[in-house]
Structure 1
């Protein structure tokens, strides 16, 4: 009976698609060119996969939601280029001067090959310095111990290590499409909401919705009547870079070296970011963003006060690239001046097989 019901449901979907000119994703692997995808609550449960996982692009898929960046969507996104202005959003490699979470500091040495004639540069760095993409090897789904699409720790290090979910797959595919900025920090200033980006501060879905409304954007997915299209790339300005620039070098280092859980009055790494509420999870999933990014070291409010992290859903369960510590100050200023919050975005992740976190070679916005 279940097969009969399933077949009947598929036929009904086909009829609806014919009438609405949609193309619904029903059969795994999904076709990236589909115009309608399941909501988080409608995700199919694949036997053997963790609950709520969206490992739906094929057994050997290692680019996740970047599949949504199809030629058709990229061509459509290029129409956002109006003035030809380009706004880089990379931080310098030595910013922050002391990376958070105990990561190593950036070191740069000039090597003389032939004095007065030829020189090389030597870099020693952890990819937490400057702007970075969190790759699918960076953060697992804790209950299952799985990274995206069934990748495990044994695939990453050890005698059986391989290139599953290595970030070089992103570099080979490329990242380009329509971006949208939610300037939460600017909206909060406007509303008299004061908070420290270097402290735990969860940004709720309702606040983001009001922020978008103030910008003239309905942040709901297009399928629900909003302005967010499948494959859009989300950027949220929480104000971390603004706060970083206002601190002395000593205070920056002190904040980066905080130890402890950061909970219940204990010292530790604490940052403003998106709330771990269910509405945020529904929204991030159902918009079918190709990627998400922010200006803070964690994107989500840190530390989480729930029994899960947004990182687990974004990276391990859904395969959505997550950018951190982007310099969104100039972008926010330009968007405000133009009253335009959509733009064309490109990025070139470092092409290094086996890598789990990427230092992007370029992240640029074209207005």
Structure 2
């Protein structure tokens, strides 16, 4: 989750509104898959659904839907979260000087050793939000409370490590192209009607259990962190409800850094689309999906294959999803 600096400045007021209206606000969803469920709508994946979509793969090009990680990349830092950092822990010349392995100058001159380390916020680059990322009234999806299930080493329920590999039908909705634009305008809120019209133009229908990815065109600015981060377009709440309640989507995502657009449409919730998807509906959110090649080739339906890193107890993790066109 991320939102612009203007929204960050209003955050204390938004939090006060949420606190003051907590008793009247919607509560978290109760899972139809049982009181122990930690993965929400990912339960829609079955052996039959995996086999069905993989049987349609054409065997042609594989589309990489992930972005590169690099120092200076777009990232959410307004709330104090760290930027991406990468540094060398070992270099060939450094090993000759320091000899950290104790193997001697001759060996270090012969065997070149490079090593590196990274430090990052879990919600950066192409990643998936876990169901514990946002909650309501002290609880997350299926009623798991922070009081009972959140320890110093992360969540003991619904951590990102519980999320299974996702193999499902994928659909890309090219909202920018549907509006005859390269990129949606700043802060544009995609509506349910926008999605219906774009799907009609693409001659594509959504099915229960789909992974639905929305292209706003913002990925064109990915190399320019300031432009990418500033006032990004995204989904409105009625669009989110259309995807889940009417279309039956399992996972939703977009090419922007926040998925939803700001400012909030709801007076007592500063991030209503995230809480609706994650806490109320058990639907994971993919952010920073690179949809440019799919858009260029007009590939709207595909087998989606992706899995997140298993950061125990975390609320998000990087993933490298792949789209395999279907016949």
Aligned to 1:275: 236
Matching of residue 200 in structure 1 with residue 159 in structure 2: no
Q: State the partner residue of 1:311.
A: 274
Alpha carbons of structure 1 residues 326 and 120: separation in structure 2 relative to 1, 3 Å: same
Aligned Cα root-mean-square deviation (Å): 2.5
Equivalent-residue separation in structure 2 for 1:183 and 1:161 (angstroms):
36
What do residues 21-51 of structure 1 show as CA deviations (whole Å, max 9, x unaligned)? xxxxxxxxxxxxxxxxxxxxxxxxxxxxx65
Q: Which moved more, 1:60-69 or 1:113-122?
A: 113-122
Match of 1:89 in 2: 65
Q: Is the CA contact (8 Å cut-off) linking 1:238 and 1:272 kept in structure 2? A: yes
Residue in structure 2 matched with residue 44 of structure 1 by the alignment: none
Please give the residue correspondences for 1:24-43 in structure 2 after superposition, counting only pairs within 5 Å: none
Aligned-pair CA distance for 1:110:
2.1
- Normalising by structure 2, we get a TM-score of 0.77
CA distance in 2, matches of 1:203, 1:134: 20
SS at match of 1:229: coil
CA distance in 2, matches of 1:77, 1:181: 15
Q: 1:140 aligns with which of 135, 138, 162?
A: 135
- In 1: Cα distance, 2:228 partner to 2:212 partner: 27
Q: Provide, for residues 296-354 of structure 1, a one-character-per-residue CA deviation record: whole Å limited to 9, x for no partner.
A: 111111232223411111001111110001111012112x2xxx421001111101211
Residue 322 (structure 1) aligned to one of 268, 285, 296:
285
1:120 pairs, out of 104, 115, 121, with 115
Cα-to-partner distance string for 1:126-181 (whole Å, 9 max, x where unaligned):
1232111111121112xx232111122235644696520101011xx221111001
Name the residue aligned to 2:20: none
**CA separation of 1:365/1:344 partners in 2, compared to 1, >3 Å: closer, same or farther?**
same
Structure 1, unmatched stretches of 5+, are 1-49, 218-226, 257-268
- Measured in 2, the distance between the counterparts of 1:201 and 1:164 equals 35
In the alignment, structure 1 residue 164 sits paired with structure 2 residue 157: yes
Q: CA, structure 1 residues 159+276, in 2 after alignment: closer, same or farther (shift >3 Å)?
A: closer
1:342 corresponds to 2:320: no
Provide the rounded CA distance (Å) in 2 between the counterparts of 1:216 and 1:52: 35
